[in-house]
Amino acid sequence: MGKVRFLGVAAMVALIFGVVFLTNIPQFLKYTKGDIKNFEELEQNELNIGDLVQGTIDFTDGSFAEMEETNTTFGIETSKRTTKQYYAIYMYNEKYVAYETGNAEEITQLEKLADECQQYYDGIDQAISKDQDNPDFSGVVTPETEIKFEGTVKELPSDLDGFFREWYGEGYDEDVEKVLITRADFGRMRYLIYFGIGAAVLGIILLIVTVIVWRKEKTETSFSY
């Protein structure tokens, strides 16, 4: 029965991978049709779950939450690393939205942009404090970093919504889009679909082989002397 068990487990793993990757089919169909929303042209409350969006991030107030992965040995923490960061990015419709990314290069760029935005806000405050009636903003340096991105729109998890709400403070319900944009790579979608189809087919084949081997072993056991 060892061979049957091994084949059965392999079949289930392949089928699970196939199902997971084939869930990208609706997004892939939108991508092939060119049904992608432009981040710079979005109106308020126009983002819907399942949408594809692309554009440029050029304003952020930084990260408001992060996801950590902890490894333990015999109950003792041995290592910890950040796998995803969640940023509050400013939209052209004057609202904020949560953005999820685990890409190290993009995180570096977003951190750089967040520093530039903080310097910009500090410059505005300094100009106003010097002359509230006629502030001089000519010396204020605007952020220069721009990050091109592609993403899918998902439901904002309740725990993440809580972090975002606490971080933002008063005005959250009016000033924040209640969805999550998560980083995507539209160009890789077709390969994920192909992988999903291949995994599903492999899983079905392995399942058939499992049944054949099981019946053969059962028959040999029944008629052995």
More confident residue, 80 or 114: 114
pLDDT above 80: residue 105: yes
More confident residue, 221 or 2: 2
Radius of gyration of the chain (CA): 25
Residue pLDDT, tens place only, 127-182: 888 878 788 888 889 999 999 999 999 999 999 999 999 999 999 999 999 999 99
DSSP bridge partners of 73:
76
- What was the pLDDT predicted at 75? 58
8 Å CB contact between 69 and 88 = no
- What was the pLDDT predicted at 57? 96
Among 36, 21, 53, CA closest to 191: 21
More confident residue, 205 or 99: 99
Question: For the chain, first and last CA: distance in Å?
Answer: 18
What is the extent of the structural domain holding 186?
2-222
Residue pLDDT, tens place only, 37-79: 999 999 988 999 989 999 999 999 999 999 877 665 655 655 5
Name the average pLDDT for the chain. Answer: 80
Confidence at 6, pLDDT banded by 50, 70, 90 = low
The number of domains in the chain is: 1
d(CA 213, CA 99): 49
Share of the chain above pLDDT 90, in %: 47
More confident residue, 114 or 191: 114
More confident residue, 96 or 16: 96
Mean pLDDT check: name the lowest of 7-16, 44-53, 94-103: 7-16
- What was the pLDDT predicted at 107? 95
Q: What are phi and psi of 97, to 5 degrees?
A: -145, 150
Among 58, 160, 73, CA closest to 109: 58
Predicted model pTM: 0.71
Confidence at 185, pLDDT banded by 50, 70, 90 = confident
More confident residue, 174 or 6: 174
